[in-house]
Amino acid sequence: MIISRLINKRICNATALQRAVSSTSSSQNAITSESPKHRRTSLVSPSYRFMYPEFLPDPKPEWRNLIREKLERKDMLARRSKIEMPSEFYVGSVLAVTSSDPHAAGKTSRFVGICIDRQGCGLRAKFILRNVIDHQGVEVLYDMYDPTLQKLEVLRLEKRLDDKLYYLRDCLPEFSTFDLNMEADILPEGSEVPINDTKAVLKPRPWLERWERQDLKGISNLEEFLTPKMVRQAKQRETPWEQYDLMKEYRRTIPAEEQSQIYSEVYSELHQFELARKKMKRKRNIPSKLA
């Protein structure tokens, strides 16, 4: 089991690299056609686990329940068929959420911000948006499948250098300031999701967390605030062997076989939504070009 998963992981890495270097899909097909089992599920793109991470259940064995997971997936698809939800967004993308709000004057409220974290799986999938409005940092936590959400737009689809951007709370405000009336940038079809490599500038200490211990790539001036003691302690607590820890990997992830099974189950509907969205986008773009 572990070995097969490792091989699959290596395949995924290899495909990811291939896609990064050149966008030819021939190598992917060559790899997926190695075993007959893979040929059957080759329709499902291997990038689905990054596009739709919430469809994978929590790998903790005590919390697994196959029937509940299946029902949840059904509910998620039902919800996705009702509202405009983007096919993909990542930590670092700028989103706009319109939700119905009984407290607001117009009964709806809209918030724009950068996604600093995605957490939870299944119907409990959540994300946090951050923005600086009137010089005041504000964060809002949203449930992705909340029935009160009316619309979820991706204004800028991109990734950042880190998986979690909580350090923006301690950075200068311009790194988390986004215009509330921002227009959506639409990427050309079939293009890679760009990685935004801006490095944020930290404010001096005190900080909310010990950023020096977290191996962050998106901070430009971390070193200038560190004392020799902090550097030493960060070095003591490094765990560089963890990436080779097979058992940790095993407990943290869902096996590749199971992943492909889950995604092949939801593939047809997700693909339909994607096609419908593309159609809508084209319809919306044509009049604007004429005008």
Residues forming the site for other proteins (CB under 8 A): 99, 101-105, 109, 111, 126, 133-143, 146, 148, 169, 206
Q: What is the DSSP letter of 148?
A: T
Q: How far is the CB of 101 from other proteins (least distance, A)?
A: 6
- Structure token pair of residue 155: 């204004």
Q: How far is the CB of 147 from other proteins (least distance, A)?
A: 12
Q: How far is the CB of 217 from other proteins (least distance, A)?
A: 23
Comparison of 225 and 250: residue with beta carbon closer to other proteins: 225
Comparison of 152 and 262: residue with beta carbon closer to other proteins: 152
Q: How far is the CB of 23 from other proteins (least distance, A)?
A: 38
Ramachandran class of 135: left when φ > 0, alpha when ψ lies in -120 to 50, beta otherwise: left
Comparison of 203 and 213: residue with beta carbon closer to other proteins: 203
Comparison of 117 and 269: residue with beta carbon closer to other proteins: 117
C-alpha pair distances (Å), 7 with each of 82, 92, 241: 38, 30, 19
From the number of C-beta atoms within 10 Å of its C-beta (0-12, 13-18, 19+), residue 1 rates as exposed
Q: What is the DSSP letter of 285?
A: H
Cis ω before 228 (30° cut-off from 0)? no
Helices within the chain (DSSP H only): 2-21, 26-32, 36-40, 48-51, 66-82, 228-236, 246-252, 256-290
Residue 199: partners with Cβ closer than 8 Å, 6 or more residues away: 161, 217, 218, 219, 220
Q: How far is the CB of 259 from other proteins (least distance, A)?
A: 28
Q: How far is the CB of 178 from other proteins (least distance, A)?
A: 14
Number of other CB atoms surrounding residue 52 within 10 Å: 19
Comparison of 55 and 111: residue with beta carbon closer to other proteins: 111
Comparison of 101 and 274: residue with beta carbon closer to other proteins: 101
Residue at token pair 């409005």: 133
Q: How far is the CB of 133 from other proteins (least distance, A)?
A: 5
Comparison of 103 and 289: residue with beta carbon closer to other proteins: 103
